[in-house]
Structure 1
Amino acid sequence: MKIIFVFALLSAVIMGCENGQDKSENDLLNVVTTTTMITDLVQQIGAEKVNVDGLMGAGVDPHLFKASEGDVAKLAGADLVFYNGLHLEGKLVDVFERMKSQNIKTVAIADTLEHSKLIKSALFESNYDPHIWFDIANWKKISVFVANRLSVEDSKNADYYKENATEYLTQLNDLQKEIATNISSLTKDERRLVTAHDAFNYFGQAYAFDVVGLQGLSTATEAGVQDVQKTAAYIIDHKVKAIFIESSVPQRTVEALKAAVNSKGHEVSIGGTLYSDALGDQNSAEGTYIGMFKYNVNTIVNALK
């Protein structure tokens, strides 16, 4: 019933937009985004030429996010909607499909990545891991894609978007170098990352980490006793020093994991909180993609080496 109601609301809002509402009060391109990572990216590239309205804030889990009536109105009134895709925003999939049928311009940033660059998973609905932002190489390609898409929608400012994208790519190149140098201080055996859920596989692939998530790729199902015991055995077998909680996932399962490990005579600490499915507070360094990545890597390296 709720999905039917959302569709009815969406249709009503669309009809209102078609009946004479201005495209934008200040003639800026109105862009609605889902995750905080995408919101930051569009702000970096669009800057003063776009009005960006992100649906999700710091600490919000996109796997579980449900659109409110206000969110549906924002989506329906947008000139352009950017979302992750690959079923990351699982509860919005039907809404996005409905929007496409109503000719609202919705763009999944994952569509620009070749399937060969995606990590497959037989345990997730889309069969691909949706946490694509944890490989900077992916984010660079997505940055170009977003700039091109903004340029198509707002051609008079195309040069502006492409210049901003070029500058942002330089920052991402610098980030790659800094991250690689920082991680190089860890030995191969120290590169074992145990977190609340399986969000860091792209990061692990890029930087040769063995990644273990207590929960699966989605947080929709909680970890069970067997998951805790299996992960505890891994930690003990490989003498892992620290495990990590995540800002958008309840920490109780990681605390249960720590207790299970310690009860077996192996000391493991909680190495800190990582940003996985959401950035930090908007006014903090971790509220940007680059700041988040630096913070995560510093936290990981300091806890494991």
Structure 2
Amino acid sequence: MRKKKYKVNSAVRRFIMSILFLTMAAALAACSGTNGNGEKDGESGKLRVTATTGMIADAAANVGGEHVIVTGLMGPGIDPHLYKASQGDVKKLDGADIIFYNGLHLEGKMGEIFEKLEKRKPVVAVSANIDESLLHGDPAAKGEAVHDPHIWFNVKLWMSAVETIRDALSEKDPQNAAAYEQNAAAYLNELEKLDQYAQEQIAQIPEKSRILVTAHDAFGYFGEAYGLQVTGLQGMNTMSEYGSKDVSELRDFLVKNEIKAVFIESSVSSKSIQSVIEGARTLGHEVSIGGELFSDAMGDEGTVEGTYIGMVRHNVDTIVKALK
């Protein structure tokens, strides 16, 4: 017995094809982690946040809590002044719902990327709401109004950055604004305690010994906030070059002020500061390494120093131990 053949008319065929297309699109959206409109992660419903530095990523995670998935681009030991975004980084930025960066030319090599992305999504400089009168100028920037970007070293200034993150998340995701407000309030309270801790600990250093010497001039805000004289071999930007004159001047400074300890940084080569130590030794003055400080990057993930609060406390404790 021959089976009958049934013809499918064009209207039915188009209907079947459209159902198949929609089914495939939904499956692809689920696999890619989106919900079809690019607003949140498809599986978790969380806001996708990409941050440049570890300090910003940590702040965003504290404020966002359970409502965000935070991706940081620059890990431990990474110098943001010299950082160039990889193809993988561009993908992370492109897949984010909101992007946070420091601003003040810290991520100078990523400026063009941010300009392109901000046409499609919020790209927020966490330094945007800091009163300009509180920012330091960069003496090496001739004829330009360039500010010192190392704002996280003054905890009070960093609290403004946290508030900017809170407001940006609330605007992007208003249904969870109350949670962001609550999380930010709790985190800001911890930062208040951190600021007080730094004040109390640095005050234990004899006044004549409150001189902080590092590889590059990243601690200006820290010195102003907590009463330390700060100097570095390189300028605020590690892209700035230093020469034999800079080395000899810093060497003479160490000898004249009888400074016994200088500090290396986790994200800057120690070679430069070693040349200063050797120069002082030739003049009969012994200088030791007081310890390693975290300047432009935090510590390893999963460690105390891998958080902003832990990083600052580590720096404070290291400085006090060496200079006290």
Equivalences for residues 22-101 of structure 1 within 5 A: 22-23=38-39, 24-25=41-42, 26-100=44-118
Structure 2 residue corresponding to 1:133, chosen from 152, 177, 196? 152
1:56/1:71 CA distance change after superposition, 3 Å: same
SS of corresponding position for 2:138: coil
SS of corresponding position for 1:30: strand
- Work out the CA distance in 2 between the residues paired with 1:39 and 1:183: 27
- Residue identity matched to 1:261: A
Q: Could you tell me which residue of structure 2 aligns to residue 163 of structure 1?
A: 182
Q: Could you tell me which residue of structure 2 aligns to residue 182 of structure 1?
A: 201
Structure 2 residue corresponding to 1:261, chosen from 270, 280, 287? 280
Equivalences for residues 1-305 of structure 1 within 5 A: 20=36, 22-23=38-39, 24-25=41-42, 26-100=44-118, 102-124=119-141, 127-305=146-324
Q: Is the 8 Å Cα contact of residues 87 and 126 (structure 1) preserved in structure 2?
A: no
Higher mean displacement: 20-29 or 276-285: 20-29
SS of corresponding position for 1:110: coil
SS of corresponding position for 1:82: strand
Shift of 1:107: 0.3
Shift of 1:178: 1.4
- Work out the CA distance in 1 between the residues paired with 2:66 and 2:145: 35
Deviations 1:107-140 (A, max 9, x none): 0011110110100123136510000000011011
SS of corresponding position for 2:128: helix
1:147/1:273 CA distance change after superposition, 3 Å: same
- Residue identity matched to 2:140: L
- Work out the CA distance in 2 between the residues paired with 1:92 and 1:122: 23
Q: Could you tell me which residue of structure 2 aligns to residue 5 of structure 1?
A: none
Shift of 1:170: 1.1
- Work out the CA distance in 2 between the residues paired with 1:22 and 1:63: 31
- Work out the CA distance in 1 between the residues paired with 2:240 and 2:137: 19
Q: Could you tell me which residue of structure 1 aligns to residue 29 of structure 2?
A: none
- Work out the CA distance in 1 between the residues paired with 2:270 and 2:75: 19
Large movers: runs of 4+ above 2 Å: 20-23
Q: Is the 8 Å Cα contact of residues 126 and 162 (structure 2) preserved in structure 1?
A: no
SS of corresponding position for 1:217: coil
Q: Is the 8 Å Cα contact of residues 219 and 230 (structure 2) preserved in structure 1?
A: yes
Q: Could you tell me which residue of structure 1 aligns to residue 23 of structure 2?
A: none
- Work out the CA distance in 2 between the residues paired with 1:47 and 1:257: 45
Q: Is the 8 Å Cα contact of residues 17 and 77 (structure 1) preserved in structure 2?
A: no
Shift of 1:223: 2.4
Instruction: Point out where structure 1 has 5 or more consecutive residues left out of the alignment.
Output: 1-15
- Residue identity matched to 2:110: L
Q: Is the 8 Å Cα contact of residues 76 and 104 (structure 1) preserved in structure 2?
A: no
SS of corresponding position for 1:214: strand
Q: Which is higher, the Rg of structure 1 or of structure 2?
A: 2
- Work out the CA distance in 2 between the residues paired with 1:75 and 1:231: 41
Shift of 1:218: 0.7
- Residue identity matched to 2:67: K
1:224/1:64 CA distance change after superposition, 3 Å: same
Shift of 1:21: 6.1
Q: Is the 8 Å Cα contact of residues 198 and 216 (structure 1) preserved in structure 2?
A: yes
Shift of 1:104: 2.4
1:145/1:22 CA distance change after superposition, 3 Å: closer
SS of corresponding position for 1:297: helix
Q: CA RMSD in A?
A: 1.8
Higher mean displacement: 122-131 or 68-77: 122-131
1:285/1:126 CA distance change after superposition, 3 Å: farther
The count of corresponding residues between Structure 1 and Structure 2 is 289
Amino-acid identity (%): 45
Q: Is the 8 Å Cα contact of residues 50 and 100 (structure 2) preserved in structure 1?
A: yes
SS of corresponding position for 1:148: helix
